[in-house]
Chains A and B, each alone.
Chain A
Amino acid sequence: MSAEAVRSVSSEKGVSEDGRGEKGSGGKGLSGKGLKAGSVGLIGAVVIGVSCIAPAYTLTAALGPTVAEVGVHLPAIFLVGFIPMLLVALGYRELNNAMPDAGTSFTWASRAFGPWIGWMGGWGLISATIIVLSNLAAVAVDFFYLMLAQLTGNSGLADLSANLPLNIATTLVFIALACWISYRGMETTKTFQYVLVAFQLLVLGWFAVAAFSHVANGTAFDATAITPDWFNPFAVGSFTAFAAGVSLSIFIYWGWDVTLTMNEETKNPEKTPGRAATVTVVVIVVIYMTVALATLAFAGVGETGLGAGNPDNQASIFAVLAGPVMGPFAILMSLAILSSSAASLQSTFVSPARTLLSMGHYRALPKKFGRISPVHKSPSYATIASAVAAAAFYIITRTVSENALWDTITALGMMICFYYGITALACVWYFRAEAFRGIRAFLFKFLAPLVGGVVLLVMFVKTAYDSMDPAYGSGSNVGGLGLVFILGMGVLLLGVVLMFIMYKVQPAFFKGQVLAKSSQVFDPDV
């Protein structure tokens, strides 16, 4: 019994080597990736990218509001909207490689610009994901009831979604379920993603073909001839409409950047991410163009009946058009959108939870946000906080707004512009020492993020300013101020207030004692 106590705290190789990033961390422990290395090929990466964009959900949510802004120039705006997304995503990739960290925009902006802007960058990211959560849940609920109606042949069931208390209750149930799944750490499998993506693309393609054949047979609602003018972004009536359209189309590509940031989980980290990003965007642009053109050609932009300009149709265009276009097969569209929004709802929960966790970890939020469930090893407090916030946001929007889905999507576009803008400029500032060392650094670390960031922040300011107009978006307003402005600015203002409270309660982060602004300019050669 003379056993001498032998003690050691050790970790297996894979973990400890991943544990700490070496580059640009300034000794504060920004850390490495933990994804399964080398398991994703090109097709897998494209599936991940498309799944993340969730085209069926995105189109039904954003097509209507965008048509409301730019009319027939929808295809032009969809094309133009990709440019700032591309530019910002290039900067995002550079930051992600240099400072891999769960806090993403929060951490990077803190490092580049210090704690205050960093905090607001994190807040912008969290707000955007919270807003999209409530919108995803709402869209899922709409199509849930629509599908019930299509299944039973009782069209009265679809109207249940318009019953306010029932709608709110069902949406909260969806949010709670997704939160529970995320909290339990359950994951979407490869097969499920493949099926989900294939099904979405198939149904969207079917919709487009069916719409065009109605046009050809003369059975379209308002057959409209496609003209080259639709592709001309300069033909959009006003800068207001253009800015609104671009901030909406940022939303439709939101998710694409995931392909660019995949590295070690791909089979060929040198080539796969770039190729996957290219293929993904081609697939997405083709499907968006086809569906946008089909919708406009079939329904026109008239403001009555099935017209895409009819405000009643704009919150969820496929809920209205799928029936007339696809006939009895409209139920497939409901299923595609329900599955894509429900899957996104579940996976999107991870994102604000991780940012909140990271902010709790760096003491930018109360410590409890940094809690990890001992059983499921997932962010516990942060996940539940996200669900509560998404539910609260939905209840407020739904009760105040005449058209909650529409207004949330517009506010969401604004919020994405805000935090992507900050992130892109953080990239420019962080890498400023390298900016003129070679063409690659100049393009990816300086020019692209600079232009992208400036464009997005301009869009943000312009949209915010315009949205004060009570007639903006769906026309909801509170005391003469547009609801989109109130939602967007209200959320940001809430962030400012919370930030100052945090400063009073826990000043360490704001004094740069936890996550220091890089003391010297990042320079990989030193």
Chain B
Amino acid sequence: MRYVVGYSANARGRDAVNLAIALARRQNASLDLVMVVPETSPYNVVHPPAAGYQSIVTDQAQLWLAEALALIPADVPAQTHVRKGESEASVLIAAAEELAAGLLVIGAGSRGLFKRFTIGPVASTLLHAATVPVALAPQGYDRTDPITRLTCGVGLRAGAEDVLDVAAAAAGRRKLPLRLVSLVALDGGGAPGGAKGPREHADERLAAAVKGRVFHGVPVELAVAQGRSIEDAVDHLAWEDGEVLLIGSSRLARDNALFLGSTANRILRSLPVPMIVVPRSYKSVGQGRQSIQSEEVNQ
């Protein structure tokens, strides 16, 4: 399995590399560090005309990638790529498809003072268009030990099983402990007049999620987190340091594409651990994806 890392030579890029190492060590994956250099449009008139500027940028990118590569421990296979393109997000998506990557890892953002996650423009675009799962490293993520547990958010609506399949497959592959959680916001929730409370709904949902599903002998834990809001509920959950949250894409997404829904967005803002968002109807690598196009281009 290959993971594409959208690298940039700053703290955010290092967060992404750290997370990628942690995930790759657990899942025995190899890393492809991709750096995108902007492609200059001829309509962006530059005078006096200066050819060759792009190669300075490309050389710099190669240098940055070489530095990043030096930080990756020897037990994680890695290679680097410089790609040109107008939009960083679309180049990363194209690279992930072309390399048949199972995951696209990026640093989520950096400027949030009080919130753990603030999403940069590239991450935001990826979260609304990627065709492979996207892993977001929180700011300052410095763990490179293998991840210790996978938590899968179990959603309310139809189609939420897709992410469970992915979680079961991912956990099963390397016997990674799995936790299924259902988040409940009590605020304004719950049907009036003696109907079942939101808590019972959540329990039922979890029971339904586990029922009839094969977990390949992985220990599965069920948890319901409740709070005044989704953010509060996330805060009430206990998280391991080496934990990663897996959640599904919004039902607004096209098939095989991501769209970060509003709940996921709110989870993201208060989450202390990395999060992986899975595209709608996504099948893990090895489960028969069809869009794998080509081999590595560079010889």
A residues adjacent to B (C-beta < 8 A): 1, 3-16, 18-21, 30-36, 39-40, 44, 47-48, 51-52, 92, 96, 100-105, 125, 129, 185, 187-190, 192-193, 254-255, 257-258, 261-262, 265, 347-348, 350-351, 354-355, 357-358, 361, 370, 372, 374-378
Contact = CB atoms under 8 A, between A and B. Distances in A.
A29 to B, nearest CB: 8
Contacts of A192: 43
Interface residues of B, number: 50
B248 interface: no
Nearest to A419: B48
Contact of A377 (B13, B48, B61, B76): B61
A185 B38 contact: yes
B37 A377 contact: yes
A6 B79 contact: yes
A20 B57 CA distance: 13
Nearest to A33: B51
Contact of B43 (A20, A33, A48, A92): A48
Contact of A3 (B13, B30, B55, B62): B30
Given A7-B79, A12-B297, 6 more contacts: A3-B75, A9-B79, A15-B83, A34-B58, A104-B50, A187-B44
Contacts of A348: 47
18 contacts: A6-B77, A9-B69, A12-B82, A18-B54, A19-B58, A20-B55, A34-B40, A36-B39, A44-B42, A100-B52, A102-B50, A188-B44, A193-B45, A265-B42, A347-B45, A347-B47, A374-B9, A375-B8
A146 B62 CA distance: 49
A257 B48 contact: yes
3 interchain residue pairs of minimum CB distance: A34-B54, A31-B55, A100-B51
B195 interface: no
B42 A9 contact: no
Contacts of B49: 96, 104, 257-258, 261-262
Nearest to B79: A8
Contacts of B76: 3, 5
Contact of A14 (B13, B69, B84): B84
A357 B56 contact: yes
Given A101-B51, A102-B50, A377-B37, A15 B84 contact: yes
Interface on chain B toward A: helix, strand, loop, or mixed SS?
mixed
Interface in B41-93: 41-62, 64-66, 69, 74-84
B70 to A, nearest CB: 10
Contact of B42 (A19, A35, A100, A102): A35
Contact of A347 (B46, B58, B61, B66): B46
A109 to B, nearest CB: 13
Interface of B: 8-10, 13, 28, 30, 36-62, 64-66, 69, 74-84, 297-298
B53 A40 contact: no
Given A34-B39, A102-B56, A375-B8, A9 B65 contact: yes
Contacts, number: 196
Given A8-B79, A102-B56, A351 B50 contact: yes
B298 A12 contact: yes
Nearest to B296: A10
A261 B51 contact: yes
Contact of A15 (B9, B30, B58): B58
A47 to B, nearest CB: 8
Nearest to B46: A350
Q: Quick one: which of B28, B41, B61 has the most chain A CB within 10 A? A: B41
A130 B76 CA distance: 48
A125 B47 CA distance: 11
Contacts of A44: 42-43
Contacts of A378: 38
B55 A12 contact: no
Contacts of B77: 3-7
Contacts of B43: 40, 44, 47-48, 187-190, 192-193
A7 B78 contact: yes
B99 to A, nearest CB: 11
Given A20-B55, A30-B52, A36-B42, A11 B81 contact: yes
Q: Quick one: which of A4, A10, A32, A189 has the most chain B CB within 10 A? A: A10
Given A18-B54, A31-B56, A102-B50, A10 B42 contact: no
A378 B46 CA distance: 14
A194 to B, nearest CB: 9
Contacts of A51: 45
B10 A374 contact: yes
Q: Quick one: which of A3, A34, A52, A96 has the most chain B CB within 10 A? A: A34
Nearest to A6: B77
B55 A375 contact: no
Contacts of B40: 34-36, 187
A92 B65 CA distance: 35
A355 B37 contact: no
Contacts of A376: 38
A59 to B, nearest CB: 17
A48 B43 CA distance: 6
Contact of B69 (A7, A129, A262, A354): A7
